[in-house]
Each structure stands twice: as structure tokens, then as C-alpha cells.
A and B are shown apart, each in its own frame.
Chain A
Amino acid sequence: MHDRRVVVTGLGAITSLGNGVEPLWENLLAGKSGISHIERIDVSDIPVKIAAEIKDFDIEQYMSRREARRLDRSSQYFWVATQQALADAGIHYEEDDPAALRAGVLAGTGIGGVETFEEQLNVLVERGPRRMSPTGIAMIISNMAGGVASIDFHLYGPNSTVVTACAASANAIGDAAEVIRRGAADVMVAGGGEASITRFAVGGFSQARALSTNNEDPQGASRPFDLNRDGFVMGEGAAVLILEDYEHAVNRGARIYGEVIGYGMSADGYHITLPRPGGAGAARAMSAALADAGMTPGDLDYINAHGTSTPANDTTETSAIKIAMGDDAYRVPISSSKSMTGHLLGAAGAIESLVCLLAMRDGKIPPTINYETPDPECDLDYVPNTARDVTVRTAMTNSFGFGGHNVSLVFGAVDS
């Protein structure tokens, strides 16, 4: 248990399943896939032609063209999700508001401004260094989403960025909770943004043989825990949670979605891209998060799995859940929202935290879609294909990143 409790009072998201939290949630409960053929970039020479791409995003609805030109797409998504989350929380700081000094940002991203990087690298090669954009570096660096959020939304407290690949925004949320717990801030904007549907990143992940090549059936391509899964499908977007000191939230009459009650981390210490077989590393993160929450496996109502749909992850994660949960592994419902959102890399942990909180709010668990053929090595309850009505008082989300970073977060319901 912790002296200062940390609760979630605002949510924001932009994904291929819609601009906003509610369209995302409705589509997830309906089992709808956001995956389609890639349209933004030329994929004619790349074996992978599908992604959970955001098709109708217009940043100029939110800021001037001049401002937008200085923000990489990944930061633009984070900006939009931040604006939504702050509005949802009913928080707005003027430039000279003393409370703004107690509000910060913890952002996560996998590869930051890769679209700008690719663009500027082409300029360097084709036209030379004297034609590179003076704003290029500031757009590429991974911390800029958080930097710009502090500028535009007047958040002058602790501000940092975590870069732990696909665990990044889960880390950001856990770290943000700890910032509040130690009294360094009252409010933290926490989450992640990713926009890596670029030739550089799709080409690179494709060469790592990490991606599904089920180009004929985009909506069926992400099939976590199914025997015929063949890789993950890249997604893009952002999700942001407003974390707040419990007393601070109660005093201002804020609506509370839930509490951050457990945060666990571990390192596989095994391989640059592959998870440690057997899942011992991931299991330690899950056990650490449960211990941090003061819970036993029997207390857990739902696991939002990392569930990437790669052959290695889903087998390993299943083993890890069995190690961490014991016999309760077979009882607890587990689902992968990546079957619908694709894998948002550094933003995935934030999206999936949001799923845990909404599952608690509505008593509904979104399904793992495309689950057709059971894999003998994945033999748990993955909430196949149809959302389930069930009371959720506690929920865990897992996020694992290249480099062997394992992060688990546990959220708990707060009685009003």
C-alpha cells in the first residue's frame, strides 16, 4: 500500500478505431478491427502491406499549420490525446496558474519522430546538409511530445520521457504514478504516442520478421493466441491518462476511473528482440506488480495481455501468466486488444491501460478477435471473439519491449 494514492481522472486516445476514447471503446467491445491496407506510404517493395493506419487525421483542426509543421506526427497524436484527456479530467491551466507548477508529463514512445527522421535523411542524402530543416532535430527527438505538451498545455512540473520500445508508455504511467506518490506533483499527463507507419520502420520491422504478412486478410491478420498467427500488425496513434493524487481529485470533485495500485518491472536479460523462452522474465514483472498492489493472484479479475500475435510472444506470455498466477491462470479472463488496434508499439501500454479502466467502469471485457484455432501451447481463457460481461474490480496490463523490458501495471476500482 502507498501513502499517497494515485487515481486516473481523464482519458484520451486517437487510434485507427476512432478519434476519441468512446469510439475506440465501442469498436473494441464490438470486436471490430482497425487494420487495413496501408495507404500513406509506398509499400510496393515491402512484403508487409497492412497496418492499423489512421486514415482521416487532420492536425490543422487542432493547431495552425505553422505549429503543425514543427511537430512530428507521433507528437501530433500525443498532443491530441493529451488535449482530450485534460478536457475529460476537467483540468485546464492558464500560463500563470500556480497549480501548473504541480502538473507534469511522463511520455513514452518507441521510436519517436521516425517520419521526420526519414524525411530529413532523404534531404541530407539527396540535397545535402545545407537543405536540412532547422526544426528537424527538435521533431525527431523522442522527448518532444512531452516537451510540446508542457508548452501548449502549461504543465510546468516534472517532465520526462521513457523509451523502452513497446513497454514505453506502460513505464511512463508507472513512473508518473511514482512521481505523484513521492509528492513531486499532484497531476501527471501520462501515456504515449507512436507514428511509425513509414517506409523506414515498416521496412525495418519487416526485415526483423516480426510482422504478419497476411496481406489478403487485413482484419484477420492480428490473431493473438491463435495457432495460425504469423506476426504483429503495426498500429499508430496515442493514448493519454491523467493521473492525479487521490486527495487532490476528491477535493475538486473529479470523476475517478480507477486507481494505479501496482507497478512491476523486470528485464529478460536474454535477446535483443526475442522474449526469454518460458516467460520467467515477464512473470517476474507480473508478480512484482501484484506484490506492489498487495494482491495475490486470486484477487485479479482481468489481464489485458501484451498479446502481439507473434508466435514467440503469445506462447511465452501464456507461460509467464501460468508462472505468476499459478492455478488462477486458468480462471482469469485474458484478452488482447491488439487483435483490433494492431500494435501501437510505444503507445500500446497506454491504450491497454485505458482498456483496463473502461473494463472496470462498464463491467465488460473486450474480446481477442480472430481466435479460431487453439494453439496447444496457449490454453488459457482468451475471451475469444465476443466481449464478455463480468465485474472487473482489478485489472492488469502487460507490456514487453525489444531489449527485454517487461512492465506490468495493476489498476483497481475506487468506490465512490
Chain B
Amino acid sequence: MERSEIEAKMKELLVEELGLDEDKIANDSRFEEDLEVDSLGVVELLMALEDNFGVQIPDEEAEQLTTVGEAVDLVQKKLDG
């Protein structure tokens, strides 16, 4: 999957599954500080990524994610892996 496709899908999931405001989502947006995604939101994101990209993301790896771009990187790594 192309990175641009992952980015587009990521944005869609953040809007659809977490109810975030699309205009606020950028590659360098930080989940906690910029997007106000709390610990429960991180779990929602994790489930959405696993379901929609068909990847497995352990909690330890999810906890390391700070920005939207890092989440895209992680999904890409899993898909390529």
C-alpha cells in the first residue's frame, strides 16, 4: 500500500472512528496535545488500525506513538514487514 493511501485512510479513521475534526489532522499532529486523544482514544485508534489495515499492533508499540505520522510509519512497517 502506498504511503499516501495509508495517510488518507488514517485520516478517515481518525474522523470516523474517533470523531476528530478533519481540519486539525496533519502529519505532525500530536495525539495527546494537539488532538486531545486520551488513553481510551488510543485504544480506539489501535482497534481501528488493526481492523482496517489487517495488522497486529501490540500495546507496547501503540504506546510509543506520539504523532499521526508515526502511526502511518508503524502501519507501513507492519504492512511491508
Contacts and interface: CB of A to CB of B under 8 A. Distances in A.
Contacts of B41: 134
A134 B40 contact: yes
Contact of B19 (A64, A134, A138): A64
B26 interface: no
Contacts of B19: 64-69
B55 interface: no
B43 interface: yes
Interface residues of B, number: 11
Interface in B19-35: 19-21
A120 B17 CA distance: 16
A265 to B, nearest CB: 37
Nearest to A60: B19
Contacts of B40: 70, 134-135, 138
A252 interface: no
Nearest to B44: A134
A138 B44 CA distance: 14
Contacts, number: 22
A68 B19 CA distance: 9
Nearest to B43: A134
Nearest to A67: B19
A66 B47 contact: no
A133 interface: yes
A271 interface: no
B18 interface: yes
The B contact surface, by secondary structure, is: helix
Interface residues of A, number: 13
A131 B47 contact: yes
B43 A66 contact: no
B44 A66 contact: no
A64 B19 CA distance: 8
Interface in B29-58: 39-41, 43-44, 47, 51
B41 to A, nearest CB: 8
Contacts of A66: 18-20
Contacts of A134: 39-41, 43-44
Contacts of A65: 19
Contacts of B18: 66
Contacts of A69: 19
A374 to B, nearest CB: 54
Interface string A56-89: 0000000011111110000000000000000000
A239 B18 CA distance: 30
Interface string B51-76: 10000000000000000000000000
A138 B41 CA distance: 13
Contacts of A133: 44
Nearest to A64: B19
Nearest to B18: A66
A130 B47 CA distance: 8
A68 B18 CA distance: 11
Interface in A115-150: 130-131, 133-135, 138
A69 B41 CA distance: 11
Nearest to B20: A66
A95 B47 CA distance: 34
A122 to B, nearest CB: 15
Nearest to B17: A69
A66 B20 CA distance: 6
Contacts of B20: 66
Contacts of B21: 64
Nearest to B47: A131
Nearest to A138: B40
Nearest to A133: B44
A65 B14 CA distance: 12
* Best-surrounded residue of A66, A135, A138 (most CB of chain B within 10 A): A66
Contacts of B47: 130-131
A70 B38 CA distance: 12
Contacts of A68: 19
A135 B47 CA distance: 13
Given A64-B21, A131-B47, A135-B40, 14 more contacts: A64-B19, A65-B19, A66-B19, A66-B20, A68-B19, A69-B19, A70-B40, A131-B51, A133-B44, A134-B39, A134-B41, A134-B43, A134-B44, A135-B44
Nearest 6 interchain pairs by C-beta = A66-B19, A134-B43, A134-B40, A65-B19, A69-B19, A135-B40
6 contacts: A64-B19, A67-B19, A70-B40, A134-B40, A135-B40, A138-B40
